Amino acid sequence: MAGGGEGNGVVSGVRVRFAPSPTGSLHVGSARTALYNFLYARHCGGTMVLRIEDTDLKRSDTTHDASILRDLTWLRLQADEGPDVGGEYGPYRQSRRAHLYEAAVDKLLAKGWAYPCFCSQEVLEERKERLLARGEMPVYDRTCLGLSAAEIEMRLAAGEKAVIRFRVPEGDVTFEDLIHGSITFSSDVIGDFIIKRTDGGYSYNFAVVVDDAGMEITHVIRGEDHITNTARQLMLFSALGEPAPRYGHHSLILAPDGSKLSKRHGATSIGDFRALGYLPAAMVNYLALLSWHPADERDKFSLAELIAEFDIEKVSKSPAVFDVQKLDWLNGLYIRELEVAELYRLIEPHLAEAGLRLAPVQREVVTEAVQSKLTVLGDAPDYVAVFVEETDPTACPCADGLLAADSDTLFDLAREVFSAMPSEYLPAKEAQETLRTLVEKAKEQGIKGKALYHPLRIALSARDEGPELFYLVGGLGRSTILARLDEALAYVARYKEANSP
């Protein structure tokens, strides 16, 4: 038995699906699966289907369901069909497709590809232990395969519980994986597996086959942890008389230490990264390049460029390592390309959460001041705080820097220049001109370089480092600047008086 296939490239009639289970938030690994499906569908001019696999009612949660949809929308990976947009192949939630699964079970029973099994879990465990003790593969021994129709009917009528097992055909199952190439499984190591449980639920492998067939899915792109499921699914497609999709199994995402990426390594869900202040374009760009890269040696690609270049057959088989430092670098590039007004709109919720508020006339210059400093939007409060928090330059750890030679002359000059500011806050360009005026006047007094910039920075911000000085001039506000200069002058005067001969 073999899965069919055609070469990669622009394939007409492509239909892919992303099928998350709403048992948790959208992990970056699942997001990359969604992205590869999205890129392949768009590259081929095909259709992306979103299907919610919520048959595990005990673990499924509608809050996770909603968060997955929200995260996909945030990443700009909107499906063409799904529970939120509809389509001709619905329902798009497994919990609403039980009638389709039951019809498929009946079809397999009628064709002899399935049969009831009454073996208890205790009996199955005993057989499994015996087989393992003999060094044999613990597959089901088909005890119930030969039961007559009369005996089955009698036992069911007596209230005995039975699962429905699929009768695995003999021989190998071979398929051509889009990423791994030819893969072969022997049916001897699979055994007749359950497709319907005693509680009336349906197994994962069975439900997805019925769904993929019913939704006419042509390509399944998913993680390599699903490779072993593929043989069972191909058998089911064949038994149901349905064409099988092509499969491509990408590698998993690992932590830098080579272990499975988990919470102990930091943020792992898309919601986590969104809350920290990563941009969706940066996340998509980074995730796309885990295990795949266009021929172009660049690292920064728009979504349109990724769509144009994507080739599933060039996805690497090697594990992908999640490098948050590279993501940070890439996110910083995207932040620096934003228009200032758009950046303010994005950082404003982070400022509000930190209790920081910028006056409308202050926003442009302050946002421009911090733009080159940000790695993520969530860093904004740390950089903006200097512009809005009350502070005393004479009480900071670096206050001794106010006592440089001629600093009182410098502060007097600064007070003279800044008093003449035409408005409370200045745009960056005007602030540069104002600072340049001070620099020229200070040079005339022999004050320049570190003797100028270091005391002035401490006086204005009570910090040793921070934004460019002209941004402080423009964004602090004239009244704040003058008040701090007065404090600095008084501090210098007290020091000189205390240390005069």
In a domain, 312, yes or no: no
Residue 147 CB contacts under 8 Å (≥ 6 apart), including other chains: 115, 116, 118, 155
In a domain, 472, yes or no: yes
pLDDT at position 189: 87
Q: Listing from the earlier edge strand, what are the strands of the sheet with 246-250?
A: 47-50, 15-18, 219-223, 246-250
Residues 459 and 378 in one domain: no
In a domain, 268, yes or no: no
Residues 361 and 427 in one domain: no
Residues 460 and 379 in one domain: no
The active-site residue out of 111, 263, 314, 443 is 263
Give, as one character, the DSSP assignment of residue 92.
-
Residues 422 and 464 in one domain: yes
In a domain, 113, yes or no: no
**3-state SS assignment for residue 249:** strand
In a domain, 15, yes or no: no
Residues 355 and 428 in one domain: no
In terms of DSSP bridges, do strands 246-250 and 15-18 run parallel, antiparallel, or are they unpaired? unpaired
Domain that holds residue 405: 399-498
Radius of gyration of the chain from Cα atoms?
33
Residues 382 and 419 in one domain: no
Residues 404 and 383 in one domain: no
- Under a CB-based contact definition with an 8 Å cutoff, are residues 64 and 25 in contact? yes
Average pLDDT along the chain, 501 residues, taken 10 residues at a time: 41 88 89 97 97 76 82 96 95 95 98 96 87 84 93 95 96 96 92 94 96 98 96 98 97 87 73 96 97 90 96 92 95 98 98 96 97 97 95 91 92 97 96 97 95 96 94 97 96 89 75
**CA torsion through residues 379, 382, 386, 389, sign:** positive
Locate all alpha helices (DSSP H) within 221-339, ordered by sequence.
227-240, 270-276, 280-288, 303-309, 324-337
Q: How far apart are CA 366 and CA 351, in angstroms?
A: 12
Which of 179, 206, 209 is closest to 195 using CA atoms?
A: 206
Q: What are phi and psi of 189, to 5 degrees?
A: -100, 5
**3-state SS assignment for residue 260:** strand
Residues 403 and 384 in one domain: no
The number of domains in the chain is 2
- DSSP states along 168-226: PPSSEEEEEETTTEEEEEEGGGT---EEE-TTS-B-HHHHHHHHHHHTT--EEEEEGGG
Q: Which residues pair with 8 in a beta bridge?
A: none
Q: Kindly report the CA angle at 135 between 133 and 139, in degrees rounded to 5? A: 90
In a domain, 488, yes or no: yes
First to last CA, the chain: 101
Give, as one character, the DSSP assignment of residue 405.
T
pLDDT at position 8: 38
Residue 263: active-site member = yes
Residues 467 and 491 in one domain: yes
Which of 266, 265, 224, 267 is closest to 247 using CA atoms?
A: 224
- Under a CB-based contact definition with an 8 Å cutoff, are residues 74 and 36 in contact? no
Residues 420 and 368 in one domain: no
- DSSP states along 487-501: HHHHHHHHHHHHT--
361: domain CATH number? 1.10.8
In a domain, 76, yes or no: no
The kind and range of the H/E element at 459 are: helix 450-461
What is the 3-state secondary structure of 336-397? HHCCHHHHHHHHHHHHHHCCCCCCHHHHHHHHHHHHCCCCCHHHHHHHHHHHHCCCCCCCCC
Residue 246 CB contacts under 8 Å (≥ 6 apart), including other chains: 3, 4, 5, 6, 176, 178, 218, 219, 220
Residues 384 and 407 in one domain: no
438: domain CATH number? 1.10.10.350
* C-alpha to C-alpha distances, 26 to 19, 83, 106, 273, nearest whole angstrom: 11, 17, 35, 11
pLDDT at position 61: 60
In a domain, 409, yes or no: yes
CA 381 from centroid of its chain's CA atoms:
23
Residues 369 and 409 in one domain: no
